[in-house]
Amino acid sequence: MTAEGQSDIMASDMEGCMEQRCVIEFLHVEKITPNGIHQHLLNIYRDQTVNVSTVRWRVVRFSSGDSDVKEKPCSGWPCTAVTPRNEERLDQLIRANRQITTRELCTERNIAFSTLETMVATLEYRIVCTRWVPRMLIREHKEHCVQVLWDLLNQYEAEGDSFLDHITTGDQICCHHYELESKQQSMEWRHVNSPSKNKTLPSVGKVMCNVFWNRERVILLDFVEPR
């Protein structure tokens, strides 16, 4: 769409909003409630109708004596902050810290979130989240795995069950455990008028358990506390 087409659409939207403000003022003079005014607008403007909160806000303004239906310019925030300088600085901030948050970017450049979205889209940035993915094996890797499996199968056929006796495998798992205090550790002095001692919940801990076993039994259990 050309710039002229966009400006025509914006002008049409502004005219539609002004028409609705005039209707709101007229129906407010007729003593119709904001909800009733909003229902009238829905019947006329359909999807282009302003929301009911906007209707209530306009009614409050008209009730206070402000009968101007034209949109007044907002003070404080600039009309637009999408400038080449801000885009260049934004690009530098993202390149310097790829994990910088949108809140930090808005604070750093003193811009609104909607303005940040516009500039980020112009710079063609997007937020991605890394995830664990299965290892992608190339054709040579797959052929090597097949060859190793055939070698192991041939060795088993030649040696029988004695071949399995030489196989040891292992794995690790994270285990929860409770550190229960002994009776001696739980003893303390209590007065005759002291309230009864409540039973304390055991503290939960974690340890890494390394397990190694063969075809007959577990060979080794090794517990390592995580750092």
Number of structural domains found in the chain: 4
DSSP character at residue 200: P
pLDDT digits 0-9 by tens, 178-197: 666 666 766 666 656 766 66
Q: How far is CA 159 from CA 14, 115, 135, 155, 162, in A?
A: 87, 73, 33, 6, 6
Host domain of residue 207: 168-179+202-227
Residue 20: other Cβ atoms inside 10 A? 22
**pTM of the full structure:** 0.29
* 54 and 20 part of one domain: yes
Q: How far is CA 148 from CA 114, 152, 161, 162, 183, in A?
A: 57, 6, 19, 19, 57
Residue 73 placed within a domain: no
* 140 and 109 part of one domain: no
Whole-angstrom Cα distance, residue 109 to residue 118?
A: 14
pLDDT digits 0-9 by tens, 114-158: 788 888 888 888 877 666 656 677 888 889 989 999 998 999 999
* 106 and 139 part of one domain: no
* 175 and 158 part of one domain: no
Residue 40 placed within a domain: yes
- Helix or strand or coil: residue 36? helix
Cα 149 vs. chain centroid, distance in angstroms?
44
* 150 and 174 part of one domain: no
pLDDT digits 0-9 by tens, 30-70: 888 888 888 888 888 877 787 887 888 878 877 777 666 56
Which CATH number characterizes residue 50's domain? Answer: 1.10.10
Whole-angstrom Cα distance, residue 181 to residue 199?
A: 11
Whole-angstrom Cα distance, residue 124 to residue 87?
A: 11
